[in-house]
């Protein structure tokens, strides 16, 4: 059986489309279930989830009151029944062959413990001219090619479209709850940390382009202010993930990285005001410089936070 876990928080507008697109997938006799994992939403999510569960025997609705994306994912792992556990975001469209591609890949390639599918963008407003392809990774868009192949760190499967053999969790535990999305902040890193841990344990990841989803990008996430914030939190997350544990080599890496970030910020301090504003000229080169500055600021912020023992975000 394949268990598909859709974690959601206050996304009733898009959740219904996501679940419906999965129910339209070809099943080919594949045993499966869908777990709608509500992370204590305050909108109509419960109503939508319970309605799907009442109408479809393979759909279950669960509420996880402890907020944070890793808490929801870990609850989904515990509640699921499948020997394959897959994760999808609540704002994707599944392609009709997604379920068949996941099942076939695990059957054909027993040496792989994890699968990452292709993620393509679905823009819900005009794409800004300054948003070039090199920035699309913040939306989870993959650029791993058209052929099935092994992917290795720093390439990783994208959290909105990935699947694991259950043994991965039995051997490595779940997702670290000090990282990952929480209401009001764009912290991440929980999936990266888990995948790095699994790779160190010898577990291999296969990229499967046929297991494709479209990731919806609403107008609010095409605003420069959101993009800047996302890069800032990427910097925070990068350091927060590496601060876990006491590995001395990781600590040395962090020290070097923070020193480089400080030097870059000092070199650009005269431009700091314009680089932190969301209304600069909008040229691609200017935006790249702007988001890099904010990423470096996030790196340094998290190093300082640990140094003075601020609580984790």
CA angle centred on 57, ends 168 and 98, rounded to 5°: 50
- Per-residue pLDDT of 222-269, as tens digits, reads 999 999 999 999 999 988 887 786 555 455 666 666 666 666 666 655
CA atoms within 13 A on the CB side of 308: 6
pLDDT bucket at 288, cuts 50 / 70 / 90: confident
Task: State how far the alpha carbon of 271 is from the alpha carbons of 233, 234, 275, 291, 307, in Å.
Answer: 20, 21, 6, 13, 27
Tens digit of pLDDT for each residue in 165-203? 999 999 999 999 999 998 888 999 999 999 989 998 999
Handedness of CA 48, 51, 55, 59 (dihedral sign): positive
User: Is residue 54's pLDDT more than 80?
Assistant: yes
* End-to-end Cα distance, the chain: 37
């Amino acid at each position: 059986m394949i268990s598909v876990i859709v974690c959601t928080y206050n996304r009733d507008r898009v959740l219904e489309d996501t679940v419906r697109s999965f129910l339209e997938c070809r099943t080919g006799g594949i045993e499966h279930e869908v777990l709608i994992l509500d992370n204590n939403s305050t909108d109509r999510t419960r109503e939508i989830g319970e309605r799907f569960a009442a109408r479809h025997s393979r759909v279950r609705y669960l509420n996880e009151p402890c907020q944070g994306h890793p808490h929801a994912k870990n609850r989904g792992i515990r509640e699921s029944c499948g020997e394959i556990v897959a994760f999808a975001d609540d704002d994707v469209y599944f392609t009709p062959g997604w379920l068949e591609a996941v099942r076939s890949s695990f059957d054909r390639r027993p040496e792989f413990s994890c699968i990452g599918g292709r993620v393509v963008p679905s823009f819900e407003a005009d794409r800004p001219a300054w948003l070039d392809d090199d920035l699309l990774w913040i939306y989870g868009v993959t650029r791993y090619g058209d052929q099935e192949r092994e992917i290795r760190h720093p390439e990783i499967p994208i959290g909105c479209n990935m699947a694991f053999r259950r043994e991965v969790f039995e051997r490595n535990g779940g997702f670290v709850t000090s990282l990952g999305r929480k209401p009001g902040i764009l912290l991440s890193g929980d999936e990266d940390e888990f995948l790095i841990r699994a790779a160190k344990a010898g577990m291999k990841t296969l990229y499967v382009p046929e297991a494709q989803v479209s990731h919806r990008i609403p107008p609010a996430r095409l605003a420069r202010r959101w993009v800047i914030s996302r890069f800032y939190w990427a910097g925070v997350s990068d350091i927060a993930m590496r601060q876990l544990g006491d590995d001395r080599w990781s600590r040395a890496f962090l020290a070097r990285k923070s020193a480089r970030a400080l030097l870059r910020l000092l070199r650009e301090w005269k431009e700091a005001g314009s680089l932190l504003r969301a209304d600069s000229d909008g040229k691609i080169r200017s935006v790249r410089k702007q988001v890099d500055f904010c990423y470096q600021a996030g790196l340094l912020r998290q190093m300082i936070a640990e140094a003075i023992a601020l609580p984790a975000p």
